[in-house]
Amino acid sequence: MENPFDDAYFMKRALQEAEQAFDKNEVPIGAVIVCKNKIIARAHNLTEMLNDVTAHAEMQAFTSASDFLGGKYLKDCTLYVTLEPCQMCAGASYWSQIGKIVFGARDEQRGFMNMKTQLHPKTKVVSGVLEDECSKILTQFFVEKRNLN
């Protein structure tokens, strides 16, 4: 029997969060954290609204998931995020000991892979899930931003 709760399913939920960020004029990055096929945290960028450079989707999701679970370690969880985590978010994922990170689009400039940021040794990484859709919303956002200025 096919599992309907695959990486694409949960990445679509992260894309819904990115759409909410887009609607709020935030950089459209969304994240969900899943534990045992259940979404336990949903988040999107809030850096503009909160006037906080650390209010990335992943950081918001880590806090929410930890609150939900009642502990700081997310060993049995998976982070789905529409853009490759930056160095800060990768560092937070290290400390949370998240079990798996699945991301859509690569961030060639600020992504943790190019920065050579180390993740927790037990964290698995999957990249490129719904990459086109994840890239498209970011491209659309920045094209619209440039056209307004």
Is residue 58 annotated as a catalytic residue, yes or no? yes
Q: Please state, in angstroms and rounded to a whole number, the distance separating the CA atoms of residues 80 and 63.
A: 15
Determine contact, residues 68/40, Cβ cutoff 8 Å.
yes
Helix segments in the chain, DSSP class H: 7-23, 47-50, 57-69, 87-96, 112-115, 131-148
From the candidates 17, 26, 58, 84, give the one annotated as an active-site residue.
Answer: 58
Tell me the catalytic residues: 58
